[in-house]
Structure 1
């Protein structure tokens, strides 16, 4: 069994990944600065699991990162995510979504790793689709760009794009075995707040059925499938960028209806404009992912919502 570092272990993806690796018998170094709502309780839960060493610290601090132990592979999941934060705390988003990538590459980039997995984001596709009308579902090889650096929504998408450039630069100069997984809307129990599914559920509990960007489309991948995909991509696609998601595109009004149906709610959904800079359509081409993992077994959206609801209700 191997020893892996999981950055951002107090976050949604990092938490489930750390647990899964430990279940598989690996040793896990779980690192987080605990910026997100719920991250403290997740880290406490990880401390109780055999095979997981929890380390609390700021990955923007190079001195702290230099003290982290040697490992066989790195899963770099840390970033400051949450759509509302892109607008309310854009500088914090940039700081905590870029500097940790640099410090971790400085620490581990030259080590004889199995892989350095970087958690990319579908936000990187936004201007390709909005500005140039690129095909949806979108392949990994489409040109990427930043439509307007003055638009603070790019605090996250631009940071994640920067991270992809950083890991492949490290691959050339440092010999880092870099691999990128571009996530498309992973969801599941206890995923936190400031995302479309938990936000709608939180309002719906109080009988408020408000939706922002009803005609926007997204695709969603259940957390268990996302984590299985991460592990498969890290071990089978070094040197590549691979979409991690579902190609099943759905508009937000239909998503709201599924949530209400599964929760047993009824009422009129009030529609509001999408946040500024929000892309109209987004869904991944997962042809490459399907060569690595059996995507036919992925949990469908109705079942995934059914599994997710109890943690919020």
Structure 2
């Protein structure tokens, strides 16, 4: 409904509209890496489908307003992003691992930990969104870092960065958890002249410094 309301506003005032969509539109993909032309593999009645299908519907609405009402639109499909100032307990895997390691808690890995994700630093995402809004191409564009890590590899990088003695705790996996996730960003490279510049090992320490300050001040209260 928020997307629909904002599209109506963009139509009335002649604004350029940016939809921040998500890699979740690809569901549990049968194509790897994922190109923008891939239509996805989504369970429409699954426990995650309210998010997946909500974003897919938002993309539909955006393109309908573009075709039917000449609204100028841009669509970005954002892959996992991390960085300073994230919520400490937002449930995302990078912030979970970082907060757990700082608090001396076991790092929680769901399933066997072999599922993969690609992690981009927030400044890379911002640069991609700016290039998209300032350019002439509608999209959709995958905005993500093609560096692919299993959850166990991510846990090891977090341990190296914060506490090599941290332990890992395995828990049953959540339903419909995508097994693989990696963006094909050749379209963004070619048409937006964009690609991520910050590797996980470069970006993670900046996030850790911010989390340490906030968690320590939280514990001091």
Is the shorter-chain TM-score for this pair beyond 0.5, marking a shared fold? yes
Q: CA deviation at 1:237?
A: 4.4
Higher relative contact order (CA 8 A, sep 6+): 2
Question: Residues 223, 173 of structure 1: CA spacing in aligned structure 2 closer, same or farther, 3 A cutoff?
Answer: same
Structural RMSD (CA): 1.6
Pick one of 91, 94, 102 that aligns with 1:194.
Answer: 91
Superposition pairs of residues 18-167 of structure 1, within 5 angstroms: 99-113=1-15, 115-127=16-28, 129=29, 133-134=30-31, 136-144=32-40, 146-149=42-45, 151-167=46-62
Q: 1:279 to 1:166 in 2, by over 3 A?
A: same
Normalising to structure 1: TM-score of the pair?
A: 0.63
Q: Which residue of 2 aligns with 1:31?
A: none
Residues in 2 aligned to 1:278 and 1:140: alpha-carbon distance in whole angstroms = 20
The 1:145–1:264 alpha-carbon spacing in structure 2 relative to 1, beyond 3 Å, is closer
Summarize the Cα distance change of 1:273–1:293 in structure 2 as closer, same or farther, 3 Å threshold.
farther
Q: What stretches of structure 2 of length at least 5 have no aligned partner? A: 213-221
Given candidates 258, 273, 278, the residue that maps to 2:172 is: 273
Query: Residue 208 of structure 1 corresponds to which residue in structure 2?
Result: 106
| Aligned-residue offset at 1:179 | 1.2
1:152 Cα deviation after fit? 2.3
Moved more, 214-223 or 140-149: 140-149
Could you list the runs of 5+ residues in structure 1 that have no partner in the other structure? 1-98
Superposition deviation, residue 110 in structure 1:
4.1
Q: CA deviation at 1:312?
A: 1.4
What does 1:284-295 align with in structure 2 at a 5 Å threshold?
Answer: 284-291=183-190, 292-295=192-195
Give the 3-state SS of the residue equivalent to 1:306 in structure 2: helix
Distance across 2 between alignment mates of 1:101 and 1:163: 6
TM-score by length of 2: 0.88
Number of residue-to-residue matches in the alignment: 207
Name the SS for the 2:13 alignment partner: coil
